[in-house]
Structure 1
């Protein structure tokens, strides 16, 4: 298969997966690993109960860094457990959760023709507040695809320390236009989408962006647009399509270069800059 055809196929696959598609059943669980974890319920401001897995590193490996996983619009948090496991092994505490209507979180009616719901921002806000109150550490959001929209919307209301983003959505309107054009669907956006670009322009925290060179949906150009708006951001380009960064950047273990890039970014932003400021 030539490169052009492969890129087109990856683009169409990404398009077809970009719609709210919650899955109730878990395909994996932390109890199937040797990882220490805690299962908690988190209550949102509008009284929805969210299921969360808090995954802890071994004490001797603990870097005292916290990441909240804000995944895309398909499946549930269990779909990202194996990637989370590798990050936890490298010393991070990772807070996983399901949006309302996903996994074992409280039921919520969704329509597959809706790109995302504003209520998901309320969900992430509740998890962020819980995490900040429990862990007195730098807290970042690991945002994937639609999760980047949720995280961007949240930052306008509740601050956090940094973002690790893959498949960054620079314009929900452009995403819906691509889907409607190529899949003859009529995707709709929530009311907040009108303000998204303004919120994006105010996204002033450190961001590490992962972008696939064959991602025709959330393109490298989208990530460069974010970098242009935010000088605190940096970009890692990998060979692959939408949300294939962990696999593409594997080496001796799954996601090795992905995690190493996160470590380097964190150290540069919070440790090296802090050292420079003290001299």
Structure 2
């Protein structure tokens, strides 16, 4: 066997093993890209809002924003993606306040002004449930709409599965988290290494309320095929395809707003 083939036979498995170990130990760093904010940071948006703080069972502080409108139809409980913070995501609130809904969005642990670190999927879900229970003090459950985008679709789906909101809206959802991890890291044994599951494909068919999906055909982060497959799982699931839409620009398309008008009318 030529020397270079011997080197490849030795080096390639070593590289894959090293990547696997890194994925297992440091996967939170590969999944979440939080941007911290100073506690003194003052948010500025074009619609009225108030800043809230929720305390978790283990004493961490979750920063949240509540955008309120007059004669609200209900509230959109918003779960954002895996990067940034409320300074960015807060700009999305107008997509819902303009349609007569309050919006409650929060930063995950370690994002923005929120304290702590994300350690597992259960922690993310427990935090979401804690805030949901707080919302029930101010809104009837029939007036709560759960919204998730990208990473947040897994949290939103689990939350809707365990509760009874009016409906569920998912933007750029993955089939499940293993599926999207294989898309980005196809040569690693993700089924063994991955701590996070977010089984949208298992939970969505068990929901009785309407489920609406938005996905762009040019999404390079979560492939469009993910939503095509999810739509086939239940008659309650309706997919709105944004032609030429990518991962972060769907609300720049007229069709997106046309369909949001239909859903939220």
Do Structure 1 and Structure 2 share a fold, with TM-score over 0.5? yes
- Report if the CA contact (8 A) 2:215-2:227 is conserved: yes
Q: Match for residue 51 of structure 1?
A: 63
- Report if the CA contact (8 A) 2:216-2:224 is conserved: yes
Q: Match for residue 122 of structure 1?
A: 126
Does residue 1:260 correspond to 2:258, yes or no? yes
- Report if the CA contact (8 A) 1:204-1:230 is conserved: no
Q: Count how many residue pairs are aligned between Structure 1 and Structure 2.
A: 232
Does residue 1:233 correspond to 2:232, yes or no? no
Over aligned residues, Cα RMSD in angstroms?
2.8
- Report if the CA contact (8 A) 1:118-1:190 is conserved: no
- Report 1:86-125 matches (<5 A): 86-108=95-117, 117-125=121-129
* Residues 45 and 197 of structure 1: CA distance in aligned 2, closer, same or farther (over 3 Å): farther
TM-score normalized with structure 2 length: 0.76
Q: Aligned partners of 1:33 and 1:94: how far apart in 2?
A: 13
Does residue 1:246 correspond to 2:218, yes or no? no
Does residue 1:133 correspond to 2:137, yes or no? yes
Q: For residues 218-259 of structure 1, what are the alpha-carbon distances to aligned partners after superposition, in whole Å with 9 as ceiling and x for unaligned?
A: 333321322222212222111221132112x14xxxxxx434
* Residues 154 and 88 of structure 1: CA distance in aligned 2, closer, same or farther (over 3 Å): same
Is the partner of 1:123 in helix, strand or coil? helix
Cα deviation, residue 31, structure 1: 4.7
- Report if the CA contact (8 A) 1:212-1:220 is conserved: yes
Q: Match for residue 80 of structure 1?
A: 89
- Report if the CA contact (8 A) 2:63-2:106 is conserved: yes
- Report if the CA contact (8 A) 2:170-2:214 is conserved: yes
Q: For residues 101-153 of structure 1, what are the alpha-carbon distances to aligned partners after superposition, in whole Å with 9 as ceiling and x for unaligned?
A: 1111122156xxxxx73311112112211112212351112200110111122
- Report if the CA contact (8 A) 2:148-2:171 is conserved: yes
* Residues 196 and 258 of structure 1: CA distance in aligned 2, closer, same or farther (over 3 Å): closer
Gaps (5+ residues) in structure 2? 1-28
Does residue 1:214 correspond to 2:223, yes or no? no
Q: For residues 156-189 of structure 1, what are the alpha-carbon distances to aligned partners after superposition, in whole Å with 9 as ceiling and x for unaligned?
A: 333322111111111211111122138x897953
TM-score normalized with structure 1 length: 0.73
Q: Aligned partners of 1:43 and 1:84: how far apart in 2?
A: 23
Q: Aligned partners of 1:246 and 1:30: how far apart in 2?
A: 25
